[in-house]
Structure 1
Amino acid sequence: MPKSLSGPRSGAHSDPLSDVISLLRPQAVSSKLAEATGPFRVRRDDIHEVFYCMVLAGCLLLEVDGKPPLEVRAGDFVLIPAVSGFTVSSLDPPAPAGLVSRPEPGEDGIVRIGRKREPDEKGACPPADVQQLIGHCSFGSPDAELLVSLLPDMVVVKGEGRLATLAGLVRDEARADRPARDVVVEHLLQVLLIEAFRSNTRPDATSGLLRGLADARVGPSLRAMHETPSAAWSVPELAARAGLSRSAFFTRFNRVVGLAPMAYLLNWRMTLAKHMLRSGSHGIADVSFRIGYGSASAFSTAFTRHVGASPARFAKSAIAG
């Protein structure tokens, strides 16, 4: 649970990325090892979940709808927080036009794609051209759409062995029948997502929370808002922390994060408020204090305008549901 939810703590260290991923509540849907040989092309249009792929051997071409084709090679890790349709195909040899391959799940749990490998004279099959670990997970948070909008739309990490280890642990744990499996998988997924996002070094990364945290001027203001959401933050005060004029800070924050400073703060405060109200363990006055409103009435007005329902009605509906 994010530190912010346990109450404002002056001077406490805050990690906004951990806050967001913790609130997202990632849950494993599937994780599998896939092997491909010869030319192949697999198309998926029915995902609508988080997608990640770790290439263990060989190379492939990943074409995500709305994005340029991406060559993914052994040691590369790709994560897309919100994906609907994509195509995976062979690079060497290239897939001919019109080819559609059908993945075949094996009794050993490995999914095989493309040409069937024939055993040699000694009965051993040659290695597959491509081996990849593919996973899908969902976010349990009702505010997932808002929280995902703060993250990069694609993460590409090259040669980071820790990600392969974490992805393998997620796969093994998800397939096991051990006590507390779901809890362990959720925590492993949180670590996997955090590691992937903080390892992302693409220079063309889109605007969002991660890019803001990496910015020497914007990062301190983001951490301050997460560390103490109850503070009476203003653009001049946040600009002073960034060492910029008010107008320069406003422009830079908007460009790097994708939202104006006060819009980001409002979204984060309301996300925290909804989380606390859903828990049923916080009264409206307590929630208003924890996220920086001087009175319950001021909070109720802002919450109703932002969410479309009063705090009391929202809490009643969330608990009943």
Structure 2
Amino acid sequence: MTDPLAEIVTLLQPVTTHSKVVSGAGAWGVRRSDAGHPFYCVVLEGACRLAAGVREPVTLRQGDFVLIPAAHDFSMTSLATVGPAAFHTSPVELRPGEFRLGDASAVPDTHLVVGHCVFRSADAALLVSLLPELVHVRGEQRLATLVQLVRDESRAQRAGREVVLARLLEVLLIEALRSSAETGASPGLLRALADVRLSAAIRRMHEHPARAWTIAQLAKEAALSRSAFFERFSRAVGIAPMEYLLAWRMALAKDLLRHNACNIAEVAERVGYSSASTFSVAFTRHAGLPPSQYAREHVGAHPGH
């Protein structure tokens, strides 16, 4: 059975940039602006507070995992009262890959593993928009184990390191999103997949992207009326069903063109177009350049690098 969540994470092409162990003692605070790159953190010991965007600050405790698929401005602080001065002190590097926040001479009460990665996909913005803005998972040991594996692998210089890291990151992201039971999250794919009716329709779209789907057919898959399906889908995902289907088809087409997997006519057929010319028109409108030019410019490349 097709797993839309796994497909989207795989298409994102996550690549780790760095991970580190951070300990904190006393009052400390750190602000980051990550230009929309993914950020994750697992609390190994103690507790801290995370503030991201306009959301209420979240208290993270031992065993918690948090993922921000597109981090912009966020801050992490100790639970102790933090004044503005705490944000002006730089982390102290204790040893390679290990940093101290707050009082470097005190016994730390908080230990974290934090990591950053990038999504190489040319469609990262689209795909990330289908994910929740913030995923907070409590008490999932599997996630802590996966983070530890990512950290160990990123430090080792073993053969096949990049391949192993890419696969571990995919599993980590899928596990984090799957573990999140926050169905009240911001509109996106996770929220829709938590809805039994909508997930049936989404899985069918992913299984058969080339089918000439209509709202009526998708509504039937979801066992809903056309109007109820359209409204429920749009509210949950944040875009209309046909807009989602088009975006998914184009993401698949770009992936096929990048990998030089087949010619334009074959790509057109695989993503639901009756001819290469109708596909070319739709692709050009969506991507801003013809598929042949896109293939020439992107084949074998790693978008985002």
Give TM class, smaller chain. Answer: over 0.9
Name whichever of 64-73 and 264-273 sits farther off: 64-73
Partner of residue 64, structure 2: 76
| 2:48 aligned residue (56, 60, 72) | 60
TM-score of the aligned structures, taking structure 1 as reference length: 0.90
Partner of residue 158, structure 2: 178
User: What is the CA distance between 1:297 and its match in structure 2?
Assistant: 1.6
Partner of residue 123, structure 2: 143
1:1-321 alignment runs, 5 A limit: 13-46=1-34, 48-91=36-79, 93-100=80-87, 101-107=89-95, 109-117=97-105, 126=107, 128-319=108-299
Q: Which amino acid aligns with 2:60?
A: V
What is the distance in 2 between the residues matched to 1:158 and 1:296?
48
Name whichever of 128-137 and 107-116 sits farther off: 107-116
What is the distance in 1 between the residues matched to 2:165 and 2:201?
32
Structure 2: any 5+ residue segments left out of the alignment? none
User: What is the CA distance between 1:99 and its match in structure 2?
Assistant: 2.4
Name whichever of 44-53 and 248-257 sits farther off: 44-53
What is the distance in 2 between the residues matched to 1:280 and 1:226?
21
RMSD (Å) for aligned C-alpha atoms: 1.4
Name whichever of 68-77 and 102-111 sits farther off: 102-111
What is the distance in 1 between the residues matched to 2:206 and 2:129?
17
What is the distance in 2 between the residues matched to 1:175 and 1:163?
19
User: What is the CA distance between 1:47 and its match in structure 2?
Assistant: 5.1
What is the distance in 1 between the residues matched to 2:187 and 2:36?
22
Name whichever of 211-220 and 296-305 sits farther off: 296-305
| Structure index of larger Rg | 1
User: What is the CA distance between 1:61 and its match in structure 2?
Assistant: 1.0
Name whichever of 186-195 and 48-57 sits farther off: 48-57
Instruction: Please give the secondary structure, in 2, of the residue aligned with 1:45.
Output: strand
Structure 1: any 5+ residue segments left out of the alignment? 1-12, 119-125
Partner of residue 8, structure 1: none
User: What is the CA distance between 1:98 and its match in structure 2?
Assistant: 3.5
Aligned residues with identical type, % of pairs = 49
* CA offset digits 1:58-115 (Å, max 9, x no partner): 1111111332211111111110000122111110x22134422321111253211111
Instruction: Please give the secondary structure, in 2, of the residue aligned with 1:202.
Output: coil
**Maintained 8 Å contact 2:183/2:194:** no
Instruction: Please give the secondary structure, in 2, of the residue aligned with 1:301.
Output: helix
Aligned CA distance change for structure 1 residues 320 and 44 (closer, same or farther; 3 Å): closer
What is the distance in 1 between the residues matched to 2:133 and 2:46?
25
**Count of residues in correspondence between the two structures:** 300
Q: Which amino acid aligns with 1:95?
A: V
Name whichever of 97-106 and 289-298 sits farther off: 97-106
Name whichever of 25-34 and 58-67 sits farther off: 58-67
Instruction: Please give the secondary structure, in 2, of the residue aligned with 1:84.
Output: strand
**Maintained 8 Å contact 2:64/2:140:** yes
What is the distance in 2 between the residues matched to 1:167 and 1:99?
27
Q: Which amino acid aligns with 1:137?
A: C
Name whichever of 24-33 and 57-66 sits farther off: 57-66
Name whichever of 176-185 and 45-54 sits farther off: 45-54
User: What is the CA distance between 1:46 and its match in structure 2?
Assistant: 4.3
User: What is the CA distance between 1:203 and its match in structure 2?
Assistant: 4.2
User: What is the CA distance between 1:143 and its match in structure 2?
Assistant: 1.3
Partner of residue 7, structure 1: none
What is the distance in 2 between the residues matched to 1:304 and 1:51?
33
Aligned CA distance change for structure 1 residues 46 and 23 (closer, same or farther; 3 Å): closer
Following superposition, which runs of at least 4 residues in structure 1 exceed 4 angstroms of deviation? none
User: What is the CA distance between 1:185 and its match in structure 2?
Assistant: 0.5
Q: Which amino acid aligns with 1:170?
A: V
